[in-house]
Amino acid sequence: MSMDTRYTERLRFFDGQQLYAEDLDGLEAVNRELRWLHNRSLHQPGIGAGLAVHGPAGASAVLVQAGYALDANGREIVLTETERLPVPPVAGEGCGGPAFFDLTVSYPADEELEEAETRQGACAPRGIVRLRERPAFTWVRLKHDVSGTLRPVDPRHRVDIEAGLMIILARSQVRECVLAADVSLAQRRTSRVADRPRIRCDTSYAEWTWWSVPVGDQPPVQGVEATIDTEAAGFAQVPCYSARVAGKRPLTVPYEGDGTVTVFDGPAHVEEPSSTSFRCRVPLLSPGHEVGGAALAAILTAVRAEWAVTWFGIES
């Protein structure tokens, strides 16, 4: 996003001041530049409202309804009444198929606008005081590239479309100077930034500790747990976390001289989630062994060396 603006001064006036055209033009420029900066900051190039295009197969013109769009510079593209645009007068492609066009709209330069009002100056020639706002419409010719994708024939149009200076309203197929099919609106883009979920993921080595839950007369449920720091993800709200253990499994852990214990892990559980962390608990099973004493210490040492937690969080 560009923060460039030519006008950063606050214009002031006083009683008795002699005003010139540049003073009032400067006041208008301040407000315009700040408004465009606002648009660039909070929106993307695209259609804000209206600008619906109607063009059925067989028609020799399309109708564009009133509406509003923004370009990449934040400039407002305003159409106040329905516009009728003739279809490009082409027979089609050389192979007999239809010719493809994108109908685009863009912000007009002052010199492209019609004079709405002029006034006689005081001891000066007449000058323009109002211009009638009307967008610039362009039929952009398209052809298939080597990959079969439709691209603008004029490279300048391609650059302006990709840069968000020309906004696509519809795509048409033309044969014998009429539409060969209904216009397509699939290429349109809204100026409203989509409310997409925030998704982050990472793999974290953790300081595993032991946990145990008694189960009546049965052996306790045991496992390891660790607090995973997710602050770097920048979640503003508590996301939905999912986690799994990454590393060598099962673990064969030596202890007490020549003894070994084999450890299997169960599904990882996420508990106590917050926007900056969660607790990951992993149940462990060691068939034929009662985990405790020297075996417990050996398992913790191996788990801390071998296991990490791979996680992702989705903040809607």
Tell me, what's the pLDDT at 1? 44
Instruction: Judge if 88 and 171 occupy the same domain.
Output: yes
Q: Find the domain containing 210 and state its range.
A: 198-315
Cα→Cα distances 229→98, 203, 267, 273, 278, Å: 58, 10, 20, 10, 7
Instruction: Judge if 55 and 141 occupy the same domain.
Output: yes
Domain boundary among the residues 118, 151, 179 is at 179
Q: Which long-range contacts (CB under 8 A, 24 or more apart) does 135-138 make?
A: 135/69, 135/77, 135/78, 135/79, 135/105, 135/106, 135/107, 135/108, 136/105, 136/106, 136/107, 136/108, 136/112, 137/64, 137/83, 137/85, 137/103, 137/104, 137/105, 138/103, 138/104, 138/105, 138/106, 138/166
Q: Is residue 71 part of a domain?
A: yes
Instruction: Judge if 141 and 203 occupy the same domain.
Output: no
Give the C-alpha separation, 92 to 179, whole Å: 10
Q: How far apart are the first and last CA of the chain?
A: 25
Which segment of 142-146, 193-197, 274-278 scores lowest on mean pLDDT? Answer: 193-197
Residues in contact with 38: Cβ distance below 8 Å, sequence separation at least 6, in sequence order: 74
Looking at the chain, the whole-number percentage of residues with pLDDT higher than 70 is 92
Tell me, what's the pLDDT at 251? 86
Give the C-alpha separation, 73 to 165, whole Å: 8
Three-point CA angle 17, 18, 21, nearest 5°:
125
Q: Average pLDDT in the 212-237 region?
A: 86
Instruction: Judge if 169 and 220 occupy the same domain.
Output: no
Looking at the chain, the whole-number percentage of residues with pLDDT higher than 90 is 45
Tell me, what's the pLDDT at 280? 95
Tell me, what's the pLDDT at 315? 87
Give the C-alpha separation, 298 to 219, whole Å: 20
Tell me, what's the pLDDT at 6? 55
Domain boundary among the residues 179, 211, 246 is at 179
Burial category of 39 from C-beta neighbours within 10 Å (exposed 0-12, middle 13-18, buried 19 and up) = buried
Does residue 8 register a pLDDT over 80?
Answer: no
Instruction: Judge if 79 and 146 occupy the same domain.
Output: yes
| pLDDT tens-place string over residues 12-43 | 888 888 888 788 877 788 888 888 888 888 88
Does residue 207 register a pLDDT over 80?
Answer: yes
Q: Find the CATH number of the domain harbouring 203.
A: 2.60.40.2080
| pLDDT tens-place string over residues 186-198 | 899 888 876 678 8
Q: Is residue 213 part of a domain?
A: yes
| pLDDT tens-place string over residues 78-101 | 999 999 999 999 988 877 789 999
Instruction: Judge if 82 and 139 occupy the same domain.
Output: yes
Computed over its alpha carbons, how large is the radius of gyration of the chain? 33
Burial category of 152 from C-beta neighbours within 10 Å (exposed 0-12, middle 13-18, buried 19 and up) = buried
Does residue 247 register a pLDDT over 50?
Answer: yes
Instruction: Judge if 150 and 259 occupy the same domain.
Output: no
Instruction: Judge if 234 and 123 occupy the same domain.
Output: no
Of residues 111, 110, 102, the one with CA closest to residue 167:
102
